[in-house]
Amino acid sequence: MSELSVNTARLEAPLAVAPTARNAAILQAARAVLAAALVARTNEAAIRAVEDAADRPPARSLRRLIVETVWRIGALFLAVDAAAVVTAWLVPGTPIGILPLAMSLLVLLAIATRADMYRSRLELSVLDDIPSFVVGAALAVGCAAGTGVLLGNVPTLRTCLAVAAWCFVLLMVGRSLAYAAVRRLRRSRLISHPVVVVGAGDVGQRLAGAMLAHPEYGLAPVGFIDTATADTRSGLNVLPTLGGLGALLRAQEELGIRDVVFAFAAQPDVQVVRAVRACVRMNMQVFVVPRYFELFGANRRAHIEALWGVPLVRLRRWPLRSGPAFMKRSFDVVVSALSLVLLSPLMAACAIAVRLESGRGVIFKQTRVGRYGKPFVLYKFRSMRPRGNEGDRRWSIDGDPGVDRVGRFLRRTSLDELPQLVNVLRGDMSIVGPRPERPYFAQTFAQLVHRYGDRLRLAGGLTGFAQVNGLRGDTSIQDRVTFDNHYIDNWSLWTDIKIVLRTLPALARRAPKPSAAVYAGDRGQGARHRS
CA dist 34 → 31, 38, 357, 512, 527 (Å): 5, 6, 66, 49, 42
Q: Enumerate residues 6+ apart whose C-beta is below 8 A from 529.
A: 395, 396, 397, 473, 474, 477, 517, 519
pLDDT tens per residue across span 489-521? 889 899 999 999 998 886 666 555 544 444 443
User: What is the distance between the alpha carbons of residues 6 and 229, in angstroms, rounded to a whole number?
Assistant: 55
SS3 assignment for 277-334:
HHHHHCCCEEEECCCCHHHCCCEHHHCEEEECCEEEEECCCCCCCHHHHHHHHHHHHH
Neighbours of 374 (CB within 10 A): 11
SS3 assignment for 453-474:
HHHHHCCCEEECHHHHCCCCCC
Average pLDDT (357-376) is: 87
Residue 33: burial class (beta carbons within 10 Å; 0-12, 13-18, 19+): exposed
Looking at 196-200, 252-256, 371-375, 517-521, which range is the least confident one? 517-521
Q: Please give the pLDDT value at position 106.
A: 92
Contact 267/244 with Cβ under 8 angstroms?
yes
Looking at 35-44, 146-155, 194-203, which range is the least confident one? 35-44
pLDDT exceeds cutoff 80 at 332: yes
Percent of the chain with pLDDT over 70: 79
Q: Give 393's pLDDT tier (boundaries 50, 70, 90).
A: low
State the pTM of this model: 0.74
212 backbone dihedrals φ, ψ, rounded to 5°: -70, -40
Q: Enumerate residues 6+ apart whose C-beta is below 8 A from 364.
A: 379, 380, 381, 382, 383
Q: Which long-range contacts (CB under 8 A, 24 or more apart) does 492-498 make?
A: 492/319, 492/324, 493/324, 493/327, 493/328, 493/331, 495/432, 495/465, 496/328, 496/331, 496/431, 496/432
pLDDT exceeds cutoff 50 at 367: yes
User: What is the distance between the alpha carbons of residues 151 and 159, in angstroms, rounded to a whole number?
Assistant: 17
User: What is the distance between the alpha carbons of residues 415 and 369, in angstroms, rounded to a whole number?
Assistant: 21
Tell whether the torsion through CA atoms of 276, 279, 283 and 288 is positive or negative: negative
pLDDT tens per residue across span 420-472? 999 999 999 999 999 999 998 898 898 888 888 888 889 999 999 998 988 87
17 backbone dihedrals φ, ψ, rounded to 5°: -95, 110
Q: Enumerate residues 6+ apart whose C-beta is below 8 A from 87.
A: 166, 170
User: What is the distance between the alpha carbons of residues 101 and 521, in angstroms, rounded to a whole number?
Assistant: 64
CA dihedral (112, 115, 117, 121) in degrees, to 10, reads: 180
Q: Enumerate residues 6+ apart whose C-beta is below 8 A from 458.
A: 320, 371, 430, 433, 434, 488, 491
DSSP code string of 316-383: PPPTTSHHHHHHHHHHHHHHHHHHHHHTHHHHHHHHHHHHHHH-S--EEEEEEE-GGG-EEEEEEE--
Q: Please give the pLDDT value at position 388.
A: 54
Contact 286/313 with Cβ under 8 angstroms?
no
**Residue 436 DSSP code:** P
Looking at 131-140, 267-276, 476-485, which range is the least confident one? 267-276
Q: Please give the pLDDT value at position 528.
A: 40
Q: Give 248's pLDDT tier (boundaries 50, 70, 90).
A: confident
184 backbone dihedrals φ, ψ, rounded to 5°: -65, -40
